Every structure is written in structure tokens, then in C-alpha cells.
């Protein structure tokens, strides 16, 4: 197996020998858990643009990655924060992404896709009212439904700014849920992912905020397929999971503790909608195939080494996790470059990438170690590491 010299956190350069990739089990859905991967977008590195200001996407490679996820039995959560929604990808770009992905899904038997609808075309500000937020949500929900898509109701920066308390959240969500054609997934994205969402649901205390979210869900249960919470706190997720109305799913958004939350306990389990499922998709497919056979031991054996990888990808500042997601897609040959929308490839250090390389290898996720080493050497050379 190939060896590469990698920087360490202590500032040294040490040799690292790669391992053979793992051969994960394969199975055909349905699996005993719903598993949606929030998918990244592939930038077009050859487009004439100002990379920090303009968004140019390689649509063919972006859609091809969705087909890859579907081939492994995963569903796709489209135009979410993993696709750099609100960090490079605006609503106009998101609409095009959703349209292309929905079109591609028609050609894939059993393909599952749900798409993000929010208010990101409405800039938060002192003059923005709750009614403005309602109209913005309506516009995006109508657009997704007109394309034939299912809705993931994304958290709103504008609502976080405009709301004066829990009642405003109940009013907005009640109005939107009354209008949607099919049950939606409500997304509660924590401030560690997006600082502009601090105090969502009307309180900086997550447990107090949870009461408002639960009140909204119970009052509109027929219009709620599930709720995804991304708070990186398994105990809070379990508390909320046990209080959901019957038939409403908990989609874990906990990229630190997903394995045990998906496995569940005697009181229930979480389904999943996760950004980390994008780079670890083969392992997820293998783990769910094992769960289908009631082989919990293999399920944990597969996912256990992916958890340290995920914790590293999502380390603070958590909002920069997309950089690690795209880095791993590049190492594994899903795209020919390590360029991101908004120039976000610069958001992590060479030490971070080096440890990510080691952890991906330990999880058996470098599908072609020779190629991964060659690409990593290119990145090291750009950072002055011979």
C-alpha cells in the first residue's frame, strides 16, 4: 500500500502507510431506517468568475454525485446547508439544483429526494416583518411543490431576526404547514452550524426552544413527516424523539452521535438526514444493509470508525464542515479538483486535511489509495510540504 508523508498537529512530518479500502456489504432498500444524505455541489473551476462573489456549478458532476448516492440506497436531501445554501449557493441557484436533481430522480427507480425550502432570498434586517417571512416561505414552498418535490422546511435567518418570541414561530409555521400539499420535514439547525440562527424557536435555551417546536409539531402533526434537529447533543435529541406525536419521525442531524441514535434503544430510534452521509455513503449503505439482517454487531463495526472522522469534519467552527465533505469527494475521484463555491476550500488548514486523510483511511473509505495519495501530495505541495 502507498505511503505518504503527512504533517502532524505537533508540526512534524511523519510517514503514513495507507490501508486497503473496506468492502462494505450491499443490499437493496427499503432499509429499516430512512437515510437521507445532504449532498454537496461541485463547483466549475474553469468558469470565468470572481470565486468569492460568483457561483458557477458543474451541473453534470453535481447530478452524477446524486446518482451515486441513490445507487448505494441512500436518499438525497437537496439544496441544504451541505450544498452551501446560504454560504455561496443562493435561492436562484438552489432552484436550479432542485430542478435538475428532481429530473434525474425520475430515471432512478426508487430514488428518494426531499428539497430545502426556506427564506434565504429575504435578507434579515430591522424592517423585515413576520409577514415578510411568511411570504418568503410561501414563495419557496410553492416553487418546490410546482417542481413535484417534497419539502424540507429549513430554518430561517430572517425569522430568527424578526420574531419577538415563541408565538411568532407558532404563527409562521402554523401558516406554512396549513398550506403544504404533503407532510414536510422540519429542520432545526443549531447555532453551531449557523450563528445567525441562535435563539431559534424564541429562546437561546434549547430545552425551552424545544417546547415551542413540539407545540408546533403536535398542532400540525398531519403535515409533519418528521423533524431533523442539528444540535450535536444526543440527549436533547432523545428527549425530543420520545415526545413526538405517533407517526412523526426524528431525523437525526447529530453528526457526532449518529450511530447510536440510528441504532436506537428500547423506546425507539432516529432516522437520519446528515451531511456526513455524503462522504461516508458506502459505509452507511453497508451499515443499513447489516441492520436489515438484524446484524447490529456489523452495523456498529462499520460505523464506529466513521464517527471520529465525522467529529473531525464537523469540529468548530462547525459551519466549515463542507470543506471536509468536498475534500473527501475529491480524494475519492468524484470530482477532478478541490475547488468550492465561495472559495471555501481555504476554510481548513493542511493539518486538518492531513488528519482527515488518516481518519478516512482508518474507516476504509479511501476507495483508491493510490489516487488519494497522489491527490493529497498535490495539496501538500501547494502548502510547501515536500
Walk along the chain (386 residues) in steps of 10 and give the mean pLDDT of each run: 94 95 91 97 93 92 98 97 93 97 97 98 96 98 98 98 98 98 97 96 98 98 98 97 98 97 96 98 97 96 98 96 98 97 95 98 98 98 90
Q: Beta partners for 227?
A: 186, 250
Task: Find the CATH number of the domain harbouring 201.
Answer: 3.20.20.70
Domain-located, residue 204: yes
pLDDT at residue 156 in the model: 98
pLDDT at 10 (0 to 100): 87
What is the pLDDT at residue 372? 98
Q: What is the pLDDT of residue 119?
A: 98
What is the reported pLDDT for 52?
Answer: 86
Q: What phi, psi does 265 have (nearest 5°)?
A: -140, -170
Cell 401558516 locates to 175
The reported pLDDT for the residue numbered 67 is 98
Question: What's the rounded Cα separation, in Å, for the pair 78 and 41?
Answer: 10
Domain range enclosing 204: 29-316
Q: What are the percentages of helix, strand and coil residues in the chain, rounded to 5? A: 45, 15, 40
The C-alpha atoms of residue 146 and residue 27 are separated, in whole angstroms, by: 33
107 found inside a domain:
yes
* Residue 381, in any domain of the structure: no
Rounded Cα gap, residues 79 and 99, in angstroms: 10
Domain-embedded: residue 384: no
Alpha-carbon distances of 187 from 59, 201, 253, rounded to whole Å: 26, 12, 9
Q: Is residue 363 part of a domain?
A: no
Q: Domain for residue 81, yes or no?
A: yes
Q: How far apart are CA 289 and CA 284, in angstroms?
A: 8
The whole-angstrom separation of Cα 203 and Cα 212 is 9
Would you say residue 366 lies in a domain? Answer: no
pLDDT for residue 86:
87
Q: What local confidence, expressed as pLDDT, does residue 311 receive?
A: 97
> What gap in Å lies between CA 351 and CA 241, rounded to an integer?
37
Evaluate whether 263 touches 238 at the Cβ level (below 8 Å): no
What does pTM read for this prediction?
A: 0.95
Q: What CA–CA distances, in Å, run from 161 to 130, 154, 155?
A: 9, 15, 12
Report pLDDT for 157.
97
353 CB neighbour count, 10 Å cutoff: 22
The three cell numbers locating residue 1: 500500500
Answer for the pair 328, 375: CB distance below 8 angstroms, yes or no: no
Domain membership flag for residue 304: yes
The 10 Å Cβ neighbour count of residue 376 is 26
Q: Is 222 helix (H, G, I), strand (E, B) or coil?
A: helix
> How many structural domains compose the chain?
1
Find, among 21, 31, 24, the residue nearest to 292 by Cα.
31
Nearest to 378 by CA among 343, 339, 347: 339
Amino acid at each position: 500500500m502507498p505511503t505518504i508523508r503527512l504533517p502532524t498537529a505537533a508540526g512534524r512530518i511523519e510517514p503514513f502507510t495507507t490501508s486497503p479500502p473496506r468492502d462494505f456489504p450491499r443490499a437493496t432498500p427499503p432499509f429499516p431506517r430512512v437515510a437521507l444524505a445532504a449532498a454537496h455541489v461541485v463547483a466549475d473551476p474553469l468558469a470565468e468568475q470572481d470565486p468569492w462573489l460568483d457561483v458557477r456549478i458543474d451541473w453534470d458532476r453535481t447530478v452524477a454525485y446524486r446518482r451515486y448516492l441513490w445507487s448505494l440506497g441512500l436518499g438525497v436531501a437537496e439544496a441544504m446547508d451541505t450544498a452551501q445554501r446560504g454560504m455561496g449557493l443562493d435561492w436562484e441557484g438552489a432552484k436550479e439544483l432542485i430542478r435538475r436533481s428532481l429530473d434525474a430522480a425520475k430515471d432512478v427507480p426508487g430514488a428518494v429526494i426531499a428539497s430545502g425550502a426556506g427564506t434565504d432570498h429575504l435578507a434579515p434586517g430591522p424592517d423585515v416583518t413576520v409577514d415578510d417571512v411568511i411570504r418568503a416561505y410561501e414563495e419557496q414552498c410553492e416553487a418546490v411543490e410546482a417542481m413535484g418535490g417534497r419539502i424540507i422546511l429549513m430554518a430561517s435567518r430572517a425569522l430568527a431576526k424578526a420574531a419577538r418570541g415563541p408565538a411568532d414561530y407558532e404563527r409562521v409555521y402554523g401558516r406554512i404547514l396549513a398550506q403544504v400539499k404533503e407532510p414536510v420535514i422540519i429542520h432545526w439547525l443549531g447555532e453551531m452550524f449557523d450563528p445567525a440562527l441562535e435563539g431559534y424557536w424564541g429562546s437561546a435555551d434549547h430545552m425551552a426552544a424545544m417546547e415551542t417546536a413540539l407545540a408546533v409539531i403536535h398542532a400540525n402533526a398531519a403535515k409533519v413527516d418528521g423533524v431533523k434537529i442539528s444540535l450535536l447533543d444526543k440527549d436533547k435529541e432523545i428527549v425530543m424523539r420520545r415526545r413526538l406525536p405517533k407517526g412523526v419521525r426524528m431525523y437525526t442531524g447529530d453528526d457526532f452521535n449518529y450511530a447510536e441514535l440510528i441504532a436506537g434503544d428500547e423506546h425507539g430510534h432516529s432516522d437520519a438526514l446528515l451531511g456526513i452521509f455524503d462522504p461516508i455513503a458506502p459505509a452507511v449503505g453497508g451499515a443499513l444493509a447489516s441492520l436489515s439482517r438484524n446484524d447490529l454487531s456489523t452495523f456498529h463495526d462499520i460505523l464506529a470508525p466513521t464517527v471520529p472522522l465525522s467529529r473531525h469534519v464537523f469540529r468548530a467552527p462547525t459551519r466549515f464542515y463542507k470543506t471536509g465533505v468536498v475534500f473527501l469527494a475529491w480524494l475519492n475521484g468524484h470530482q477532478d479538483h478541490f475547488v468550492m463555491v465561495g472559495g471555501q476550500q481555504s476554510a481548513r488548514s493542511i493539518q486538518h486535511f492531513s488528519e482527515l486523510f488518516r481518519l478516512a483511511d482508518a474507516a476504509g473509505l479511501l476507495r483508491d489509495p493510490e489516487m488519494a495519495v497522489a491527490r493529497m501530495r498535490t495539496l501538500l505541495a501547494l502548502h510547501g510540504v515536500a
